[in-house]
Structure 1
């Protein structure tokens, strides 16, 4: 079943690479770094420029890591963090269904990434070259906890930085 794992890794990882390049370079009709920075500002993810660059690089790099099957639980955790943050900041208020702007697609990607981390990337992977074609339940749990934890940390830091920015702007108006 190794070919099935490779197929899932290439499709899911490739989609994340494309999604990251949309944010980073404006590829595939994306907003580019400037547009991603504006989105981060609107979501109170300060500092906006740094968060825009971080998400763009994380999605691009971790997507490539999934494709290659390299450090699978770690890169899956990074992508899960991005998806959990998207759900929390953008999609949750719209309910589950994607047709209403909900988190259906994000949930499928999160579940797929947990499964990839748990089941491992298979024999045709970088991880397998180091004896880790399968990570087991611990790998999946690690990826999920890393993703959820990093999302909560980044959102909280963004809120605090946005509040500090508002206070600084108000002091400048006095």
Structure 2
């Protein structure tokens, strides 16, 4: 019989699937940035790209972005300190949306901020709802989810991402 109440096992399975797919996928981008794995540019290539975007010599920006993607992504995947992992993801995706896509509108097909927005929403939702029972947070008994942790993760991520973006020096055309 079908019920309108949420099945806790189904919710935990859904949260696990979401965390692992988004978290591992995002961490792979960090490994591309820092180590050149999976066809990425590595630290030197990524630093050059960030330099072209106005982030000084680009090395600090590359390290920050890559580390945030790895730590935030893997933190989400295993459900560890979920609001902090979410804040790292939100911050990185805020910078990506602003730097890469701010003039291109919403649609990702036109290099817009659509995908970055979805990833911000997923990270915010996980910080708010929590990682579920099948997570390291649940195993350790750290219950950091809820409206306040979710809003703190969103505020910290967007705020720090915007601060990083606003302090760059865009290249002159």
Q: TM-score range by the shorter chain?
A: 0.7 to 0.9
Is 2:55 aligned against 1:45?
A: yes
Cα distance in 1 between the residues matched to 2:114 and 2:162: 20
Match of 2:106 in 1: 96
Equivalences for residues 135-154 of structure 1 within 5 A: 135-154=145-164
Match of 1:169 in 2: none
TM-score, structure 1 normalization: 0.87
Q: Deviations over 1:38-93 (max 9, x none)?
A: 11111111241111112111111211111111111111101100000011111121
Match of 2:94 in 1: 84
* C-alpha displacement of 1:24: 1.0
TM-score, structure 2 normalization: 0.87
List alignment gaps of at least 5 residues for structure 1: 167-174
CA contact (8 A) 2:81 2:144 kept: no
* Structure holding more helix per residue: 1
* C-alpha displacement of 1:132: 3.6
List alignment gaps of at least 5 residues for structure 2: 1-10
Q: Deviations over 1:78-117 (max 9, x none)?
A: 1100000011111121111111111111111110110011
Cα distance in 1 between the residues matched to 2:94 and 2:78: 23
CA contact (8 A) 2:48 2:57 kept: no
CA contact (8 A) 1:62 1:76 kept: yes
Is 2:17 aligned against 1:35?
A: no
Cα distance in 2 between the residues matched to 1:109 and 1:155: 18
Match of 2:64 in 1: 54
Cα distance in 2 between the residues matched to 1:84 and 1:75: 14
1:120 pairs, out of 105, 122, 130, with 130
